[in-house]
């Protein structure tokens, strides 16, 4: 059985066949997911003429599973080979996406079907995401995590740059429901690339007396018992709450308030991806200059106010000023994620990786459905523009948990694989 490299091959991790399989899987699936992220709500807005509350509920359902099954998913993933979880999740998501264009062609598509599709997608995205982040340390070794995460974030950012523009054109040419078939094909291709990975994990060692609830409690205790992880969770959770409210109403604001078509919306959304690509290129230098610890809160505090340029937009040049704000936000998201995810993976023992990732996802992505519902309610009360102002202002406070922790002055992050103290759960 092949083992993870202790150092990257000459020329970097992309010379490693197995990492290249994960890299290619990520590439095709991320482009497909960018199509779905834009097409699914636009099906509701343009094809079904849904209101703000319905669009907010649809956005909430895409991440509700992190709140409902996020914790047990981590314990389950720690009992399974993660490669198999990735393949199964991709195939199920491909199948459920195909139901939307089929229903559209037969004239039976309803908002309730979109709700069901969003919920099922969310459930299998939970398993995929937990397994994905837990699989990377096995595949590349802990010494190569920053490079591995940076390369995968570069893929996500490139998809974020080209994906929305591609999605906008596909929606304009094919309609939003039919464009979802593109993501279904991408999910299938993603599964095939993972199948080609030869490096196998050993079967997880599960004690005979292992109990699901006890495993969940151990994961919670690890995350909540580490003061640096607590600060990161607080920052990410609040930011995701605000960003989910923001994004839920952005897909209403752009077509209805600013009068943009699908192509222009896709191009504007791609500004997040442009910023993310830049972030992936500068994250190592930024960490060396500012320090990994300080970079976690600085990357949020210095950039969150740029989101205010979006609700200030008007037809004309101000739309592209909003695009510039999206670029800055994209830079910060990738710099923040590469830094804190690499730290979390380094500091966690192998046997707890699934539970740590699931616990963090439960705490920080579980705020997203709540945020989307809040965004829908704010849009219903104050209009989409008013909701964007409120969400953007609230997001400016996200840096406070790490700023008020030891991360405020830390340059280097610890490498310890043990929590600082147990936390009561």
Instruction: Say what the pLDDT of residue 117 is.
Output: 93
Instruction: Say what the pLDDT of residue 85 is.
Output: 86
Q: How far apart are CA 398 and CA 392, in angstroms?
A: 11
Instruction: Say what the pLDDT of residue 422 is.
Output: 44
Q: Which residues of the chain have pLDDT under 70?
A: 1-12, 133, 140, 142-143, 146, 157, 160-163, 202-210, 415-425
Instruction: Say what the pLDDT of residue 400 is.
Output: 94
Instruction: Say what the pLDDT of residue 3 is.
Output: 56
Q: How far apart are CA 75 and CA 25, in angstroms?
A: 25
Instruction: Say what the pLDDT of residue 425 is.
Output: 43
Instruction: Say what the pLDDT of residue 374 is.
Output: 93
Q: What is the CATH number of domain 16-200+213-408?
A: 1.20.1250.20
């Amino acid at each position: 059985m092949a083992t993870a490299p202790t150092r990257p091959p000459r020329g970097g991790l992309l010379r490693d066949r197995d990492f290249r399989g994960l890299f290619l899987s990520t590439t095709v699936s991320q482009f497909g997911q960018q199509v779905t992220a834009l097409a699914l709500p636009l099906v509701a807005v343009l094809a079904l003429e849904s209101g703000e509350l319905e669009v907010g509920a649809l956005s909430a359902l895409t991440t509700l599973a992190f709140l409902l099954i996020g914790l047990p998913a981590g314990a389950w993933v720690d009992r399974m080979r993660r490669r198999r979880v990735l393949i199964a999740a991709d195939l199920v998501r491909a199948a459920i996406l195909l139901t939307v264009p089929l229903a559209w062609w037969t004239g039976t598509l309803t908002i309730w079907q979109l709700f069901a599709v969003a919920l099922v997608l969310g459930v299998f995205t939970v398993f995929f995401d937990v397994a994905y982040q837990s699989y990377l340390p096995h595949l590349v070794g802990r010494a190569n995590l920053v490079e591995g995460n940076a390369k995968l974030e570069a893929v996500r950012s490139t998809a974020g740059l080209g994906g929305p523009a591609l999605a906008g054109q596909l929606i304009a040419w094919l309609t939003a429901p039919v464009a979802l078939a593109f993501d279904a094909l991408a999910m299938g291709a993603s599964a095939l690339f993972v199948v080609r990975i030869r490096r196998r994990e050993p079967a997880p060692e599960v004690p005979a007396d292992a109990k699901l609830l006890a495993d969940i409690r151990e994961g919670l205790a690890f995350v909540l018992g580490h003061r640096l992880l607590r600060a990161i969770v607080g920052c990410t959770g609040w930011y995701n709450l605000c960003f989910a409210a923001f994004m839920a109403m952005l897909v209403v604001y752009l077509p209805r308030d600013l009068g943009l078509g699908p192509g222009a919306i896709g191009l504007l959304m791609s500004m997040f991806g442009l910023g993310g690509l830049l972030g992936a290129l500068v994250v190592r230098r930024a960490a060396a200059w500012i320090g990994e610890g300080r970079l976690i809160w600085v990357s949020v505090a210095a950039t969150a106010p740029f989101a205010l340029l979006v609700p200030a937009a008007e037809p004309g040049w101000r739309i592209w000023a909003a695009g510039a704000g999206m670029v800055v936000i994209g830079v910060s998201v990738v710099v923040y994620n590469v830094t804190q995810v690499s730290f979390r993976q380094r500091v966690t023992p192998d046997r707890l990786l699934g539970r740590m990732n699931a616990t963090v996802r439960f705490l920080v992505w579980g705020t997203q459905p709540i945020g989307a519902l809040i965004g829908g309610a704010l849009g219903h009360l104050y209009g989409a523009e008013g909701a964007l102002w409120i969400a953007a202002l609230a997001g400016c406070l996200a840096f406070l948990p790490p700023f008020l922790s030891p991360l405020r002055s830390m340059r280097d992050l610890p490498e310890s694989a043990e929590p600082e103290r147990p936390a009561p759960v």
